[in-house]
Amino acid sequence: MSAAPAAFAALFRPYTLRSVTVPNRVWMAAMCQYSAEPAGPAAGVATEWHFAHYAARATGGTGLIVQEATAVSPEGRISPYDLGIWNDTQVEALRRITAFLKAQGTVPGIQIAHAGRKASTDRPWKGGRPVGAEAHGWQPGAPSAVPFAEGHPVPHALTVEEIRTITGEFAAATRRALAAGYEVVEIHGAHGYLIGEFLSPHSNRRTDAYGGSFENRTRFALEVVEAVRAEWPEDLPLFFRISATDWLEQDGWTADDTVELAGLLQSRGVDLLDVSTGGLAPGVTIPLGPGYQVPFAARVKAETSLPVAAVGLITEPEQAEKILANGEADAVLLGRELLRDPFWARRAAAELGAEIRTPDQYRRAW
């Protein structure tokens, strides 16, 4: 990676967290592909689709790829077709992907996750509705017996013993992530999945040590962070993805809560907060527009010392550059835009007058 001109340095300036240096600030957000086998020995195992999908974004110049939500247990999948990291067969398939990403100069990251009450659904292009045992489904577990939406099953309210088991599954997934070759682990605490369900009073109606007060509702998240950090090498960075607001008028998680939690996460070894929003409750009003979630990342950055990445309708190179140059975030995470254009980073470098590493096989085109 060559240094970019001073006028457009931010987006293509390397960024170091602990011992890992990411070659630029164009990062890929975790986006599920729903393309693994749903059952049998190949359940949750990465396929040729996954390899081709991530390889394309790496050759396209993306600095860091955060692999889609990868379940810490079979019951933690959003759908039966999700990737998993609960066994060694899954690790072997993932190792091929991380090796290729590293060979292209891309840092491989993985988002480890548990879907909670939003688990056991069909693939989005099949409608995304809950599925039962006849379609490889199961009964979801959650902080409380409160369904996600009308037509969704009432989840099983997790016992304290079950909560501790899941925490252990996050720790085991972390060990496997290291064995698979990842250099960044991101804990999924956003979008209304299990950790986010514990955080929000809208979904967490518990009356024990895991519900009620802010301290109690954040307990599970912090215990997971501590368990993951204990397994993840000291020289490798740990991310946490948060929904900074539920977009609910009352009884929801708020931006104030996010700022308070950020400090607690940092004190337990989190190196960067990946700031998204929403996903906990259906039917909420979200003011969609270019960069609509960036202000939430900017607030965390302004009010804490925890680095942040911004996401949400970031589509244009100059838009991304401005976010970084204005100090609103330390990196940008692109989602759907990288589905549309795997070579977005290369196009951005050309538009901004920066240089970017190019595979020898593609040099004739640049």
| DSSP element (H, E) containing 225 | helix 219-231
287 CB-contact burial (10 Å; exposed 0-12 / middle 13-18 / buried 19+): exposed
Cα-based angle 245, 276, 165 (whole degrees, multiple of 5): 85
- Cα separation, 106 vs 171, whole angstroms: 25
- Cα separation, 295 vs 355, whole angstroms: 29
Long-range contacts of 298-303 (CB under 8 A, 24+ apart): 298/327, 298/328, 298/329, 299/244, 299/255, 299/258, 299/259, 300/244, 300/258, 300/259, 300/262, 300/273, 300/275, 301/327, 301/328, 301/329, 301/330, 303/259
| Nearest Cα residue to 232 out of 282, 275, 180, 281 | 180
Q: Which residues pair with 142 in a beta bridge?
A: 157
195 CB-contact burial (10 Å; exposed 0-12 / middle 13-18 / buried 19+): buried
Q: Does 15 qualify as catalytic in the annotation?
A: no
State the pairing for strand pair 156-157/272-276.
unpaired
Q: What share of the chain is helix, strand, coil (3-state, %, to 5)?
A: 40, 15, 45
Task: Return the CA Rg of the chain.
Answer: 19
Amino acid 112 reads I
Which phi and psi angles does 178 have, rounded to 5°? -65, -45
- Cα separation, 46 vs 83, whole angstroms: 6
CA atoms within 13 A on the CB side of 351: 13
Please tell me which residue in 81, 182, 193, 210 is annotated as part of the active site: 193
Please count the other Cβ atoms lying within 10 Å of the Cβ belonging to residue 351.
Answer: 13
**Catalytic residues, which ones?**
193
